[in-house]
Amino acid sequence: MTTLFIAGATGLVGGQALALAQADARVTRVIAPTRRPLREHDRVENPRLDALIDGAGPEGWVADGAICALGTTRA
């Protein structure tokens, strides 16, 4: 069981990382917190950042690896 955390999954680079993770059978769980909802997928957890700001914490965000794709396409 491999869990991957992706920050920036709604952007260009993060979206590609998410698509590759969804296609890889070795990745059994993806945690991708976002402001905008992602398309539903059986292995993707998509916590909304608005709910986290209101008090829910990231207790279950334990992952085997992480990808940070925040601001990767900024000039």
Q: Is residue 39 part of a domain?
A: yes
pLDDT of residue 1: 76
Residue-range definition of the domain harbouring residue 52:
3-68
Q: Is residue 27 part of a domain?
A: yes
By the 10 Å C-beta count (0-12 exposed, 13-18 middle, 19+ buried), 5 is classed as buried
- Per residue in 32-70, pLDDT (tens digit) is 999 888 989 999 988 877 766 665 556 667 889 999 999
How many domains does one find in the chain? 1
Q: Is residue 7 part of a domain?
A: yes
Q: Is residue 75 part of a domain?
A: no
* CA distances (Å), origin 51, targets 16, 62, 68, 74: 25, 18, 21, 27
pLDDT of residue 57: 57
* CA distances (Å), origin 59, targets 31, 41, 52, 56, 71: 12, 21, 11, 9, 25
- The 3-state DSSP class for residue 19 equals helix
Q: Is residue 73 part of a domain?
A: no
Q: What is the pTM of this model?
A: 0.81
